[in-house]
Amino acid sequence: MDKKTTGIIATVVSALLCGCPGLFLCLFGAASALGAGTFELGQRSGGVPKGVGVVLLCLGLLLALIPVGVGFFTLRNKPQEINNEPLPPAN
């Protein structure tokens, strides 16, 4: 496989493993930060603290940015090396 195919595969895999969970964490974190999240644990139930929602929102954004970085670094065109060697003398 060439480098472009490997980069596409790495981007798709990272989108599935990091991007999708990151987006779901963003949604859950936003809902929790706005006060819409609740939990039940035995006899106790209540709202998810807003601080937890903000942390989950930030974590979700970081996870969603991983596929963007993988795609950028694997699929970008690397600059050509410039040959600075002196030319041989003309005869």
The domain segmentation of the chain, as residue ranges, is: 3-39+46-75
**pLDDT at position 41:** 64
Q: What's the pTM?
A: 0.70
Let me know: does 23 contact 3? Beta carbons within 8 Å.
no
Q: How far apart are CA 71 and CA 9, in angstroms?
A: 10
Q: How far apart are CA 17 and CA 54, in angstroms?
A: 22
% of the chain at pLDDT higher than 90: 41
**pLDDT at position 88:** 81
Q: How far apart are CA 52 and CA 63, in angstroms?
A: 16
